[in-house]
Homo-oligomer: A and B are copies of this chain.
């Protein structure tokens, strides 16, 4: 932990991160199962309930937006938009992060303001520019009118189990199974040396040499494993560059917006690079449209390095090798209200 604390401190003070031994940052294959919190073990019934809730637009004020609207499980786990459209077409200021492999993040949201998947799930439902429900009570009052949910909450959580906390637990349990193992890199690490192209292998080396993996470490490329709730944050941008104005990199103060602590200004949770070639546009505000430009910007703003075109091409080829296998998932059946609508 000492080493990690050092990194965070050094990032805060803006000191360059070159010259650190990379030995601790060996590439790791993505596990096929994510760690479960002790108070929310995944069960078949809970995951099924969570899947229904995840896809149910009735969790939004006007019945048009579900979790899946912005975090599309059938695609990249995002909506591939700079910022997402909530109810009535409203847009927030940050880009929807992918739900795939989010179980491996030790904090949630771009600014780490939620410790767990469960905590995260509670946010967008009540956010006025996202799903816009007026209160936890309003959500649960609506779900109480859907017999299929009443039955399932009772079966999964017990007689008094129909609570907003348990709604979040069910959604979290579903999200925890959204894992994409067996990316070319994972197969490569397990011994299939042909799984990565020559360009990807060059890119892998460049990724280390340039220093990308100082932050994008661990199996999820989102930093080292930390206890739940302990975020791995970095200042972005760390170095000033032309990109600050070109892409408005400092318009959003990052974690500071959540904590109001001076030290958190422009601090961001290090995001995953898993499936990164599917989740354009890039960065917290989706201002960078392509992965090659995102690589260039990161090298400059975080490591003060100008990459050659060859380095960019190779690193992108390596990142393309982080796209995993998406599991086959059956569609949920959303429980109905007979003879009337809750969202008309």
In the assembled complex, the CB of A160 is this many whole angstroms from the nearest CB of chain B, namely 28
Q: Which of A254-297 contact B (CB under 8 A)?
A: 277-278, 280-281, 286, 289-292
Complex: how many Å from CA A4 to CA B281? 56
**Complex contact A289–B344 (CB within 8 A):** yes
CB contact list, A19-37 vs B, under 8 A: none
Chain A to chain B contacts (Cβ below 8 Å), 28 pairs: A57-B72, A63-B81, A64-B69, A64-B81, A64-B85, A72-B334, A73-B331, A75-B333, A80-B343, A81-B341, A81-B344, A82-B344, A87-B89, A88-B89, A277-B336, A277-B338, A277-B339, A278-B336, A280-B339, A280-B344, A289-B344, A290-B340, A291-B340, A292-B339, A320-B338, A329-B330, A330-B331, A331-B331
Contact B81 A343 (CB under 8 A): yes
Residues of chain B contacted by A157 (CB below 8 angstroms): none
CB pair B74 A333 closer than 8 Å: yes
Bound Cα distance A81, B341 (Å): 7
Q: Which one of B69, B85, B289, B344 lies within 8 Å of A340 (CB-CB)?
A: B289
Q: Residues on A close to B: CB < 8 A?
A: 55, 57, 62-64, 69, 72-76, 79-82, 85, 87-89, 277-278, 280-281, 286, 289-292, 316, 320, 326, 328-334, 336-344
A10-B79 Cα distance, complex, nearest whole Å: 51
> Do residues B80 and A341 form an inter-chain contact, with CB atoms below 8 A?
yes
Given contacts A280-B344, A281-B344, contact A326 B336 (CB under 8 A): no
Q: A281 to chain B: closest CB distance in Å?
A: 4
**Contacting pair B334 A75 (CB below 8 A):** yes
Min distance, Cβ A296 to any Cβ of chain B, angstroms = 13
| B79–A57 CB distance below 8 A | yes
Kindly identify which residue among B57, B330, B338 contacts A278, using a CB–CB cutoff of 8 Å.
B338
Q: In the bound complex, how far is the Cα of B278 from the Cα of A340, in angstroms?
A: 7
Task: Return chain B residues, CB-CB under 8 Å to A57.
Answer: 72, 79
Instruction: State whether A339 and B326 are in contact (beta carbons under 8 Å apart), knowing that A69-B64, A344-B289 are contacts in the complex.
Output: no
A191 CA to B320 CA in the complex, in Å? 58
- A88 smallest CB distance to B (angstroms): 4
Output the least CB separation between A325 and chain B (Å). Answer: 10
Please measure, in the bound complex, the distance between the C-alpha atom of A165 and the C-alpha atom of B334, giving whole angstroms: 32
Bound-complex Cα distance A327 to B87 (A): 30
